[in-house]
Amino acid sequence: MFTIYRPYPDIERSVATLSEQDLHTVGRVNVSLIVKAILGRLGLAIYDSELLDTNETAKWYWNQGEPFLNDLMYYYNVAEELWLDVGGLGYNYLKHDEEVIEDCAYIENEGKWNEHHGRLHQLVMLKNDRQWYKRKFRDMRHYDIRDSSLFIDGKPRKITMRGIKKQCEVLENV
Q: Of residues 29 and 110, which shows the higher confidence score?
A: 29
Question: What is the tens place of the pLDDT at every residue in 148-163?
Answer: 888 888 888 888 888 8
Percent of the chain scoring above 70 in pLDDT: 98
Q: Of residues 166 and 44, which shows the higher confidence score?
A: 44
- The mean of the pLDDT values for the chain is 90
Which pLDDT score is estimated for 1? Answer: 64
Give residue limits of the domains in the chain.
Answer: 11-103, 115-170
How would residue 50 be classed by pLDDT, with cut points 50, 70 and 90? very high
Q: Is 62 exposed, middle or buried, given 0-12, 13-18 or 19+ CB atoms closer than 10 A?
A: buried
Question: What is the tens place of the pLDDT at every residue in 66-123?
Answer: 999 989 999 999 999 999 999 888 888 999 998 898 888 877 878 888 888 899 999 9
| pTM score of the predicted model | 0.90
Q: State the Cα torsion 133-134-137-140 to the nearest 10°.
A: 130
C-alpha separations of 125 from 6, 48, 49, 140 in Å: 10, 28, 27, 10
